[in-house]
Amino acid sequence: MLSYQHSYHAGNHADVLKHIILGDIVAGMQSKASPLFLFDAFASRGVYDLTGVEALKNREFDSGIGRLWPLRHEQLPAGVDRWFQLIASKNPDDGFARLPGSTALLASMLRDSDRLAACDLHPQEFEGLRNSFRSSRKLALHKRDAFEALGALLPPKEKRGLVFLDPSYENKGEYKIVASAVEAAYARFRAGVYVIWYPLLPAGRHQDLLHALKRSGILKILRVELDCGASFPDMQMSGSGLLIINPPWHAMDAMQESLRWISDHLPSDNGRDHFEWLVAE
Ligand SMILES: C[S@@+](CC[C@H](N)C(=O)[O-])C[C@H]1O[C@@H](n2cnc3c(N)ncnc32)[C@H](O)[C@@H]1O
């Protein structure tokens, strides 16, 4: 069942964390010249319209990008600045109503030798992807199941790559399914950088994902998490995190600076953040 649509949540505190840190990771990987394969396995529509009925229903963007956008001309960490510049490039009117999602972010960072594949199974989301991007030698759009695509597209011919897993966790079993899928993908492509997003919800099911990956035998798993505590009483999700397998060393400082900045500027009522190894080397 695919009922989730990211447009209802676009630009919220979780998007802030995920897109800024994702950019830092890609930039860190690009400190080497060799070609990269980027795989956005749960892409959604690529660019979100924050003036649309979906986004306006709960206006989650108000406490995310809406809160941070006025700070765009200040001295900023590189990752935050990169994200603001990308948003500005999509909004000639100096606003943020056309908000780039993960596929737009990754597409904007492609070098000539890099490749991006973006996948979504939801008919409307895939249509959105097709409207936002043109397939090319560098960019492939797939209307297919992400879990099946992981098997089909990995390992990439470039031998260096990033896999971004941003599922909608529509059922409670999905945390374990994601962990199993990552284990299987890692077995075929051990050099890959895997970035797995998870929400912090009252049921605490993200622990299933963390426990499963801890037990998997996979080493070098970094946990970057921001819990905004009781700051968003109208939203179920108090925060979110990213598990990053094989994080590029060149991105470590940048990610830490980005997390600090985000944590300092988003509301935090008894919140906390983590930048630590879930599993060390
Ligand atoms: C959280 S949204 C992705 C947001 C996007 N990554 C971003 O940052 O802008 C999750 C997306 O995954 C898609 N999806 C869910 N299950 C899927 C599956 N098994 N295969 C492919 N896409 C799936 C949904 O349609 C939804 O668009």
Indicate the pLDDT class of residue 269, thresholds 50, 70 and 90.
Answer: confident
User: Is the predicted pLDDT of residue 63 greater than 70, yes or no?
Assistant: yes
pLDDT tens readout for residues 181-193: 999 999 999 999 9
Domain assignment present for 20: yes
- 142 CB near ligand 1 (under 6 Å): no
pLDDT tens readout for residues 132-154: 998 899 999 999 999 999 999 99
Rounded to whole angstroms, how far apart are CA atoms 233 and 88?
Answer: 30
Report the atom number in ligand 1 closest to the C-alpha of 44.
Answer: 27
In the chain, % of residues over pLDDT 90: 91
Whole-model pTM above 0.75? yes
CA of 40 to the centre of ligand 1 (A): 9
For residues 193-197, give the mean pLDDT: 98
Cβ atoms of 65 and 17 closer than 8 Å: no
- 145 CB near ligand 1 (under 6 Å): yes
Any idea of the CA torsion for 65, 71, 75, 80, to the nearest 10 degrees? 0
| Domain boundaries, position 164 | 6-279
Q: How far is CA 134 from the centre of its chain?
A: 21
pLDDT tens readout for residues 76-124: 999 999 999 999 999 999 999 999 999 999 999 999 999 999 999 999 9
Domain assignment present for 116: yes
- 119 CB near ligand 1 (under 6 Å): yes
- 7 CB near ligand 1 (under 6 Å): no
In the chain, % of residues over pLDDT 70: 100
CA of 146 to the centre of ligand 1 (A): 8
Indicate the pLDDT class of residue 270, thresholds 50, 70 and 90.
Answer: confident
Report how far apart the first and last C-alpha atoms of the chain are (Å, whole number): 38
Q: Rounded mean pLDDT of the chain?
A: 96
- 39 CB near ligand 1 (under 6 Å): no
Domain assignment present for 1: no
CATH number, domain with residue 98: 3.40.50.150
Cβ atoms of 225 and 198 closer than 8 Å: no
- 146 CB near ligand 1 (under 6 Å): yes
Catalytic residue positions?
A: 166
In this prediction, residue 268 carries a pLDDT of: 82
Query: What's the per-residue H, E or C state across 43-96?
Result: CCCCEEECCCHHHHHHCHHHHCHHHHHHHCCCCCCHHHHHHHHHHHHHCCCCCC
Report the atom number in ligand 1 closest to the C-alpha of 46.
Answer: 9
**Atom 26 of ligand 1, residue of closest alpha carbon:** 44
Domain assignment present for 247: yes
CA of 4 to the centre of ligand 1 (A): 8
For residues 71-75, give the mean pLDDT: 96
Tell me how many domains the chain contains: 1
User: Is the predicted pLDDT of residue 3 greater than 90, yes or no?
Assistant: no
Q: Coil, strand or helix: which one is 265?
A: helix
Report the atom number in ligand 1 closest to the C-alpha of 18.
Answer: 8
For residues 68-78, give the mean pLDDT: 97
User: Is the predicted pLDDT of residue 236 greater than 90, yes or no?
Assistant: no
For residues 193-222, give the mean pLDDT: 97
In this prediction, residue 1 carries a pLDDT of: 65
**Atom 6 of ligand 1, residue of closest alpha carbon:** 43
